[in-house]
Amino acid sequence: MTMPHTPALQLQGIVKTFPGVRALDGVDFDVRPGEVHALLGENGAGKSTLMKVLAGMYQPNEGRILIGGKTVAIRNPIEAKAQGVVLIHQELSLVPEMSAAENIYLGELPRKSLGRVDWKTLFAKSNAILERLKCRFRAEVTVANLSIANQQMVEIARALTVDARVVVFDEPTASLTDAEKVVLFDIITDLKAQGVGIVYISHRMDEIFTLSDRITVLRDGQYRGTLDTAATNEDEVTRLMIGRSLDLTRHEAPPEFGKTMLEVRNLSCAPLFRDISFSVRAGEVVGFYGLVGAGRTEIAETLFGLRSPSAGEILVDGQPVQITNPRAAIALGISLVPENRKEQGLVLHMNCRDNMTLPQVQDLTSGPFISNGAEIAIFDQYRDRLAIKTPSWKQSASVLSGGNQQKIVIGKWLSMQPRVLIVDEPTRGIDVGSKSEIHTLLRELAAQGYAVIVISSEMPEVLRVSDRIVAMYNGRIMREFDISEVTEDNLVQAISGIKAEEVA
Amino acid sequence: MLIARLKAGGPTLAKQGILVAFILFMIVFSFMSDRFMTTGNVMSVFRQATIVGVMALGVTIVVIGGNLDLSVGSMLSFATVLVVDLHDKIGPELAVPVMVLATLCLGAVNGFLIGILRLNSLIVTLGMLSVIQGLVLIYSGGQNVDIANQSETWFRVFGRGAVMGIATPIILFVGLALFFHILMTTTAFGRRVHAVGGNPVASVFSGIPRSRIVFLTYLISALCVAVAAMILGSRVMGSQNNVGQGYELQVLAAVILGGTSLLGGSGSILRTVLGVLMLAFIQNGLILMGQPYYTQWLVTWAVIIIAVWLDVAAKRGRLLSPIA
């Protein structure tokens, strides 16, 4: 057995079950020293579960983990790290009030006598790691004051305090700008050159094809195969992932729409957005495109009665209205599928049915009691219509995959029979297959006469679903495009405020 | 297959842990003392448990809604002193409604501060615990109060009466427990309390009037205190200024023992009833075994802490865990 052929890490026949779910079903996976191995699969395919098994957060029911060719038991993340396996989380898990250095060495701070922290060593070692990562901030800085990208760097720095054999990146670019991505990719290339095995989890095909040497695909908890990146293409990978090819066409506008359902005139909510005017007609999808912080979510929240506008008018069905709280918005037929489904969309520990009927539970009564039958009827109807995959309505919403959770939230608002449906980042953190299903669904809803507003930060998404696109920058509408006239270039210009600077 | 079923049933079995522990305690105590399992003793423990019990029903609802209520003890002092004092001054037919209204007003203050102004419930109700105790002393001028003509008044029915051989307090407690159980499990209000406690933000995003729901949970809690005060005042036919002192902890103990999550969103009225009975029988059993009364606190909280540990362990599937 010669060294270069021994994988840094091997997982063999891993099985992990949860009550009612076989989350991993005999999965094989290995990483060689000095390679980037991408792990792909839809949400709910088992990627995160596999990585949690690897990091010792879950114990597998069956299967073996080998590190450097030897079988090991990993009982918790500390043991995993001691074995040189480090997980960089999708969601940041830093202590914001502490310095970067303290976060980097959290749990293993260098000590002096009497257990006092050796600050000098701590900062020196931390700064050395940050320099290696080419970070332009010092380890003394408080994490809360760092940008998300730099926080991610701290998270990565954490992995480098030990001699890492395997570093797992779980959706590392979700919150990074393009420039920051370049830095991250440099770091990954660096680590690779040092002989570290990299596991790279992402939904973004372009990144995977740029970075990876091999690609392993999971579907429904099962191992679907491993491909050499050089010898495959996006189409083949997608088919392995979802079992069919993906439709990436642009939406073609139908000839005519119904009457105007919602109109907004000079709406302002200082300092979040100013002078917003637009309208949505029945049967139409209007896409709001812009950078994070451009004020799009805040407009949606204002229309849903969660914020009070400082000026301007809202007209529903031609009538001026005051929307002071979400109940008023719901009564006017406005529904909002919020941006963050776990925090704003769902009561996670409640079951699927109760989540779905929550906005109207007070109307589903017979006498003083909730009518079980009426509730189940609504759930069944939208489960079928949206193809929600859950064994039963009694399932807690927390255990569903992201795509199915999102469908529960969409079903919740469709069951309110809205006239205007606002959908904020409908496919954030959702896998490719469910993404395309949700896009099709949004178009179908428009075809049925709903007026739909889609807020999205992903250009393919707005292009695919919208009839018109409103481009926003820094709280203002820069330009409105008809889908037939929009090009990727002028869309990007509009949301980067280039036009605004020329004018000013 | 059998193993799979046992595993699937594992969390359910753990959920019934309190029931198992309760039965174990009853068996142990009935061997240790021959008076323990007599009808007389059981009924008397049950009757004494009703005051903590009725209050625990209201607090369970507050806790499911995601808040705490530590003011119920001094609120009980307030309500009992008020109803006993007014009994001779304006007659029981007025004293009772006046007391109920006054207690509801205190609940409304809690509800306003916590539900409408969104202040932290721990701080508010801890403050109200002192404020209300102060109100009681101002009202009574430090004097204890009692009812002069104890055998004639119909007010005696709440604490001392019986219907068909069953003591009125027991009927009140069981009746209220059933009522609140049905309220919490089958009505829209119950569902909304669970939602607000489970995720207040998502509730607001679903158009639930969160402030109003929280406000109502504190009114319910105050109503329960008023009923407890009727039982207590009627049984004692008098009241000390601080009669309710310490009740808030017993009530909270019963709620926690019943498995209601202090994080909000989940809990059960019927299991709170079990928690109440278990506490009462532990205390009674220890006394019958000749232990001084203060040992009951040691044992009670030891039991609670073990119960919480087992509950958490059942949720994460192991006894000790470095995460979660």
Residue A452, pLDDT score = 96
Name the residue with higher pLDDT: A183 or A97. A97
What is the nearest CA distance from B301 to chain A, expressed in angstroms? Answer: 28
**Span A260-503 CATH architecture:** 3-Layer(aba) Sandwich (3.40)
The pLDDT assigned to B70 comes to 96
In angstroms, the separation between the Cα of residue A274 and the nearest Cα of chain B is 24
Residue from the list A19, A330, A412 with its beta carbon closest to the beta carbon of B8: A19
Q: Please name every residue paired with A286 in a beta bridge, in sequence order, or none if there are none.
A: A453, A468
Q: How far is B85 from chain A (nearest CA, A)?
A: 38
Domain ranges of chain A: 3-242, 260-503
Residue B26 inside a domain? The answer is: no
* Chain A CB within 8 Å of residue B259 CB: no
Q: What whole-number distance in Å separates Cα of residue A56 and Cα of residue A66?
A: 13
Give A87 or A358, the one with higher predicted confidence: A358
A92-106, A380-394, B82-96, B141-155 — most confident range: B82-96
% of residues, chain A, pLDDT over 90:
41
Counting the structural domains of chain B, the total is 1
Q: Could you tell me if residue B5 is inside a domain?
A: no
- Average pLDDT on B57-65 reads 98
Which residues 159-188 in chain B show a CB within 8 A of chain A?
A: 182, 186-188
- Burial profile A302-336: b = 16 or more Cβ within 10 angstroms, e = fewer: bbbbbbebeebebebeeeebebeebbebbebbbbb
Picking from B5, B12, B205 by the largest number of A CB atoms within 10 A of its own CB, the best residue to mutate is B205
Superfamily grouping for domain A3-242: P-loop containing nucleotide triphosphate hydrolases (3.40.50.300)
Q: Is the pTM of this model over 0.90?
A: no
Q: Which of B199, B209, B321 sits opposite A347 (nearest CB)?
A: B199
- The pLDDT mean for chain A works out to 86
CB A27 within 8 A of CB A13: yes
What pLDDT does residue B217 have?
A: 98
- Cα separation, B288 vs B293, in Å, equals 10
Of A15-24, A475-484, B20-29, the least confident: A15-24
Task: Kindly state whether B238 is in contact with chain A, defined as any CB-CB distance less than 8 angstroms.
Answer: no
3-state class percentages of chain A: helix first, strand second, coil last, to nearest 5: 35, 25, 35
Query: Which residues of B fall within a CB distance of 8 Å from A306?
Result: 204-205
- Residue A404's nearest CA partner among A383, A424, A425 is A383
Nearest-CA distance from A208 to chain B in Å? 31
What's the token pair of residue B183? Answer: 């309220």
Q: A453 or A190, which is more confident?
A: A453
- Gap between the Cα atoms of B50 and A46, Å rounded: 50
Q: Across the interface, which of A344, A348, A361 has its CB nearest the CB of B192?
A: A361
ipTM of the complex: 0.86
Any CB–CB contact under 8 A between A144 and chain B?
no
- Between positions 11 and 50 of A, the ones with CB within 8 A of B are 19-20
Nearest to A394 by CA among B12, B308, B204: B12
- Comparing A133-137, A239-243, B149-153, which segment has the lowest mean pLDDT? A239-243
φ/ψ of A290, rounded to 5, equals 175, 175
Q: What is the CATH number of the domain that holds B219?
A: 1.10.3470
Residue of A nearest to B196 (CA): A347
Compare all CA atoms of chain A with the CA of B209 and give the residue at the minimum distance: A327
Which tokens sit at A11? 């997982």
* Mean pLDDT calculated for residue range A79-89: 85
| Strand residue runs (E) in A415-489 | 420-424, 451-456, 468-473, 476-482
pLDDT in tens, A248-292: 566 666 667 889 999 999 999 988 899 999 999 999 999 999 877
Chain centre distance of CA B44 = 18
Asked if the model's pLDDT at residue B248 lies above 80, the reply is: yes
* Owning domain of residue B163: 36-313
- CA–CA dist B102, B135 (Å, integer): 12
Q: What is the pLDDT of residue B165?
A: 87
Give dist(CA A427, CA A272) in Å, integer: 24
pLDDT for A43 equals 63
pLDDT score, position B203: 96
User: What does each C-alpha distance from B174 to A277, B3, B135 come to in angstroms?
Assistant: 59, 38, 31
At A376, is the pLDDT very low, low, confident or very high (cuts 50, 70, 90)?
very high
CATH topology of A3-242 equal to that of A260-503?
yes
pLDDT tens readout for residues B124-183 = 999 999 999 999 999 999 888 989 888 888 999 999 989 888 999 999 999 999 999 999
Interface of A with B in 61-120 (CB under 8 A): 76-78
Give residue B10's pLDDT: 42
Average pLDDT for A56-78: 87
pLDDT value of position B208: 96
Q: What is the pLDDT of residues B196-246, one digit of tens each?
A: 999 999 999 999 999 999 999 999 999 999 999 999 999 999 999 999 999
For chain B, give the mean pLDDT: 89
